[in-house]
Amino acid sequence: AGTEPFTMSARILEESSNRRCGGTFYHVNDGYYYMKHSTNNEKVYLRCAFRTGCHCRAFMPLAMEDRTAANLVRSDDHTHGPDLTFLGVLALRRAILKRCREETTEFRRIFDEECARVGDEISSQLDFNRINSGMYRDRREAMEMYRSPASMPSSVYEFGNMVDKTRHGKTWGKPPVGKFYQGTVVDANG
């Protein structure tokens, strides 16, 4: 599996980025990405998101319903080619970090398994040593609620309710043992 062929979007697409890129970026599936630079009453002014030496600027309407590809106006050409794999790399990074938050599988195994699901063109752009600290951070943040003394349950019933409200929900476990149901039962006597 390689990268999917890109089709120019009729709408300006908004993507939430990772922490490293610092926020939201905009694109029309042409391989060029923009970050918000400033706004006024009618327009959002954009700059090239990934190349500091690129002087390409653009603007789009402030009103969401008017944000079409035709209304994305570039003031200059990019000084670099399009990056048609960025969205795939971002999706791979998100999948890896999601598994780190939700599982206790070792990081290297998560990284290798997720990279095996995408083509070499995408996986070769993500280095384990660079994403490793993000994997630790996301797992640590996911486990934070279990370590905080303020969130320590005072009973098994409270623990069940606490776990029930997390993304782990009703099932725990992983192959080869399989998932098992977790729930809280209270008898008539409390």
pLDDT in tens, 74-97: 988 999 999 999 889 989 999 999
- CB count, 10 Å around CB of 46? 24
Residues paired with 132 in a beta bridge: none
d(CA 78, CA 57): 9
pLDDT of residue 40: 92
Question: What's the full length of the chain, in residues?
Answer: 190
d(CA 148, CA 162): 13
Tell me the C-alpha to C-alpha distance, in Å, between residue 184 and each of 69, 157, 177: 51, 6, 22
pLDDT of residue 1: 41
Residue 48, judged by CB atoms within 10 A of its CB (0-12, 13-18, 19+), counts as buried
| Longest CA pairwise span in the chain (Å) | 74
- Classify 87 as helix, strand or coil: helix
pLDDT of residue 143: 80
Low-confidence ranges of the chain (pLDDT < 50): 1-6, 19-20
pLDDT of residue 149: 62
Q: pTM of the entire structure?
A: 0.65
pLDDT of residue 190: 59
| 58 phi and psi angles, rounded to 5 deg | -150, 170
- Classify 171 as helix, strand or coil: strand
